[in-house]
Amino acid sequence: MAMERTLVLFKPDAVQRGLLGRILTRFEDKGLKVIGLKMRQFERGLLEQHYAVHRERPFYPNLVAYMGSGPVVALALEGKGAIEVVRKLMGKTNSAQAEPGTIRGDFGMSFSNNLVHGSDSPEAAARELALFFPAPGELVTWTPANLGWVYSVKEELS
Ligand code: IDP
Ligand code: MG
């Protein structure tokens, strides 16, 4: 499995409800490496681009308005198969149907206000990371002290 990078957003409901720490802990506890982190109230144009694949969907106008309604935290994560790992930790889009144990399953009830975004493919991850972390140096290359314990050095890191 390849080392991947993926974009996570803590949506305005996660910020307003004071869930940033608990949600970030899910990702850290799993062994994913944080390589970028920022809080902004993002501009409408950027959010429209981010969700451009959903432009024709009925929920699109509300989605863009909600994502621009307050501060959002953008997080870049790295790990083996990180894109799918993050999607699994998030749970199903409709929080009411998301499995207990997932972020949406444990903290949410809503379809739209579902706390987190995670890229859904390598192509989406590359596009979204470039949108939210455009400047050189915004993503940090570093080696966690416990990397050789999170993964098998012989089987997974060489
Ligand atoms: P995802 O976030 O699980 O990848 P997508 O289908 O990519 O889900 O939809 C993007 C976001 O749009 C969702 O996270 C949710 O906030 C919102 N959304 C998607 N489908 C609906 C819907 O049917 N009703 C209301 N909001 C929706
Ligand atoms: Mg999606």
Ligand 1 centre distance from Cα of residue 124 (Å): 15
Which amino acid would we find at residue 86? V
117 has catalytic annotation: yes
pLDDT tens-digit profile, the chain (158 residues)? 899 999 999 999 999 999 999 999 999 999 999 999 999 999 999 999 999 999 999 999 999 999 999 999 999 999 999 999 999 999 999 999 999 999 999 999 999 999 999 999 999 999 999 999 999 999 999 999 999 999 999 999 98
CB 130 within 8 A of CB 36: no
Ligand 1 centre distance from Cα of residue 130 (Å): 21
As a whole number of Å, the CA-based R_g of the chain is: 16
Structural domains of the chain sorted by starting position, each given as residue range(s) with its CATH number in brackets: 3-152 (3.30.70.141)
Global pTM reads: 0.98
Which amino acid would we find at residue 135? A
d(Cα 43, Cα 33) in Å, to the nearest integer?
27
d(Cα 77, Cα 36) in Å, to the nearest integer?
7
Closest residue by CA, ligand 1 atom 2: 117
Report H helices in the chain: 12-16, 20-30, 44-50, 60-67, 82-90, 103-107, 122-132, 147-150
d(Cα 5, Cα 80) in Å, to the nearest integer?
9
d(Cα 121, Cα 6) in Å, to the nearest integer?
9
d(Cα 113, Cα 66) in Å, to the nearest integer?
8
- The pair of structure tokens assigned to 106 is 């444990």
Ligand 1 within 6 A of CB of 117: yes
Which amino acid would we find at residue 104? R
- The pair of structure tokens assigned to 26 is 């899910």
